[in-house]
Chains A and B, each alone.
Chain A
Amino acid sequence: MNAQYRHSQPGYLSIVISFILITVGVIMYVCGLRPLGILLGVTGLICFVFSYKLTAEIKDGYLRFWFGPGLFWKKILLEQIAYCEPFKGVFSGWGIRYICNGWLYNVSGMKAVTVVLKSGKKIHIGTDEPVQLIEAINSVLHGQAGAESARMWSEVKVDYLKRLEQALSFARHPRSFEILADVNNHLDRRFGELELENRNWENFQKIATEMGPPSDYADLVGDKKTKWYLPSAAELISICLIFVMCAVSVYFYPRMPEQMATHWDMYGQVNGYMPKLPALVLFPVILAAIVASFIVVPRVASLWANIEGFRKFFGGLAVLLSVFFSLVQYLTIMWNLGIKINPVIVILPMTAALIGWIFFMLYRANRKKY
């Protein structure tokens, strides 16, 4: 049986990277660096073969997709699909990764289709034509009329959720993240409960009307508990650390040499000096600017719902940065007082912790839950 849908998305970046790897490999091989040349060439070749394109196909009751020529593929029984929708996560690179409660497979671009199975499992399939893939899946699942109604439903749902998100954001609702996810889930289930012949615009509107105006969610008694304008514990800790840092710097200012040691090589040998005033002022000022931006941005951001679930990670970063800057400042002061501890032993693990935390934050950084 012929495929009911088939489309391949080229992985432009993979092609370019593979080409560069192979070219560099060949040049190294010719120049005499044979083992390294072969290693790079083979890596480039493997990279090309496995990721130069991602193909999605609907055939014989299955949705299949595979990288490259199709040596390894994954298939989903269409009957197991509850519904599918455009991928709502943020761009997070290419390849295979776990994001937004499911595995994402992509080779290029930022678009994908989220396939939600009846078991609740999610799979995100990268494609440059998400609308066509969704319609193809829906038309196989529900016929042509079904695909059309699924598209209409998607319009009604997205419109409702957008208005709800704005209402919750405006009210700085403390549980907007959770509510958006619940309402999305609920709306989809209501859609699933409608008989095929009842899936029309009027009934969709009826469901949206039954849900009530989005402002109702924000108006509920006892739900406006979040004092969003007050600083969080993490923000307070960061502010305290800045003040302590300023106080220590002011206290030791008279005892510092005119030219302070401010830069070290990897062996802990001083290789840079600065006049004492800028040397002591620089770190507190930079840190204050960073922490101020961390405090101000979430409060002026228009979509509170997006910030709310993310706030604690943001706060964690502010504290880590404050600790990092403070330690470096104190070690610099100690060094110039004659207590010589190699700053590298602090800077290296702290840098690793910072990078780790930033990766963790990026991993958690979904724009929306629905």
Chain B
Amino acid sequence: MNLENWQTQLRKGLLDIVVLNLLNRGPSHGYEMVQTMKRIEGLQIREGNIYPVLARLQTDGLVTSYSQPSADGPPRKYFQLTQAGQRALEDMNRYWEQIIRSLESVRKGAVL
């Protein structure tokens, strides 16, 4: 098994929940989110990966965006959570905690 490939796929699969949790702290733009994630071990992603996710979350109505002028270039596109996004995030976080508990019980042999 290619471990690196598995890790990459897992990271990509977690992008939605990571991005929504980051936006839960306040509005942010793509580059800022990538920089934050680069500082978190195991969540480092390339900038190219975040834009499709943000575009998809926006299409699904979970985030909205607005433009804000920037002193050093074109306006920045900021994203923020919508109410639907907030609700989806709560569900996702709940499910994630459940998954971790289930995985732990499998690892410890508690489930036959």
Min CB distance, A162 to chain B, in Å? 15
| Interface residue? A143 (CB, 8 A) | no
A83 is contacted by which of B49, B56, B73 (Cβ under 8 Å)? Answer: B73
A220 to B16 CA separation, bound complex (whole angstroms): 11
Complex interface: chain A residues within 8 A of B9 (CB): 221
Structural contact, A216 and B46, CB atoms closer than 8 A: yes
Q: Which of A173, A185, A211, A213 has the most CB of B within 10 A?
A: A185
If A175-B56, A186-B30, A220-B52 touch, whether A212 touches B74 (CB-CB below 8 Å) is: no
Q: Is B72 an interface residue (CB 8 A)?
A: yes
Per-position 1/0 for A184-197, Cβ under 8 A of B: 01101111110000
Chain B residue nearest to A182 (CB atoms) is B51
A185 B77 Cβ-Cβ under 8 A? yes
Question: Are the C-beta atoms of B54 and A118 separated by less than 8 Å?
Answer: no
Query: How many chain B residues touch the partner (CB < 8 A)?
Result: 29
Tell me whether A186 and B46 are in contact (CB under 8 A). no
Closest to B10 in A: A221
Known: A116-B74, A185-B74, A188-B74. A216 touches B67 (CB 8 A): no
A82 within 8 A of B: yes
B69 on the interface (CB 8 Å rule)?
yes
List, in ascending order, chain B residues with CB within 8 A of A83's CB: 73-74
- What residues of chain B lie closer than 8 Å to A216, measured between beta carbons? 46, 48-49
Contact of A192 among B46, B58, B69, B72 (CB under 8 A): B72
Q: Which residues of B contact A219 (CB under 8 A)?
A: 12
**Cα separation A175 to B65 with both chains bound (whole Å):** 15
**Smallest CB separation, B27 vs chain A (Å):** 16
Interface residue total, chain A, C-beta cutoff 8 A: 32
B70 interface contact, C-beta 8 A: yes
A94 in contact (CB, < 8 A) = no
Q: Is B104 located at the chain interface by the 8 A CB criterion?
A: no
How near does chain B come to A251, taking the closest CB pair, in angstroms? 44
Measured between alpha carbons, how far is A211 from B56 in the docked complex, in Å? 18
Q: Is there contact, CB below 8 Å, between A211 and B69?
A: no
| Nearest-Cβ distance from residue B30 to partner chain A, whole angstroms | 6
Q: Are A189 and B48 in contact (CB under 8 A)?
A: no
Chain B residues near A178: list those with CB within 8 A: 55, 58
Question: Is B61 among interface residues, defined by CB-CB distance under 8 A?
Answer: no
CB pair A120–B77 under 8 Å, yes or no, is no
| B31 in contact with A190 (CB, 8 Å) | yes
Q: Which residues of B contact A190 (CB under 8 A)?
A: 31, 73
Residues of B close to A213: CB separation below 8 A:
48
Quick check: A210 and B74 within 8 Å, CB to CB? Answer: no
* Distance in Å: Cβ of A312 to nearest Cβ of chain B: 14
Instruction: Give the chain B neighbours of A175 by CB distance below 8 A.
Output: 52, 55-56, 59
Cα separation A314 to B80 with both chains bound (whole Å): 33
Q: Do A211 and B54 touch (CB < 8 A)?
A: no
CB of A264 within 8 Å of the partner chain: no
Question: Are A120 and B31 in contact, CB atoms less than 8 angstroms apart?
Answer: no
Contact with A along B1-41 (1 / 0, CB 8 A): 00000000100110110000000000000110000000000
Do B73 and A189 touch across chains, with their CB atoms under 8 A apart? yes
Residue-wise interface mask of A (106-134) relative to B, using a CB-CB cutoff of 8 A (1 in contact, 0 not): 00000000001011100000000000000
Nearest B residue to A116, CB-CB: B74
Q: State whether the Cβ of A159 lies closer than 8 Å to any Cβ in chain B.
A: no
Q: Which of B63-81 contact A (CB under 8 A)?
A: 67, 69-77
Q: Does B90 contact A (CB under 8 A)?
A: no
Chain B hits for A193, CB < 8 A: 72-73
Cβ contacts A to B, 22 pairs, < 8 Å: A83-B74, A118-B69, A120-B75, A173-B52, A178-B55, A179-B51, A179-B55, A182-B30, A182-B51, A182-B55, A188-B73, A188-B74, A189-B73, A190-B31, A190-B73, A192-B73, A212-B47, A212-B48, A217-B49, A220-B12, A220-B15, A220-B53
Q: What are the 5 tightest A-B residue pairs by CB atom distance, in nearest-first order?
A: A192-B73, A212-B46, A212-B48, A189-B73, A120-B75
Binding site for A on B (CB under 8 A): 9, 12-13, 15-16, 30-31, 46-49, 51-56, 58-59, 67, 69-77
**10 other A-B residue contacts (CB within 8 Å) besides A82-B73, A185-B74, A190-B73:** A118-B70, A119-B69, A120-B75, A175-B56, A182-B51, A192-B74, A210-B46, A217-B51, A221-B9, A223-B52
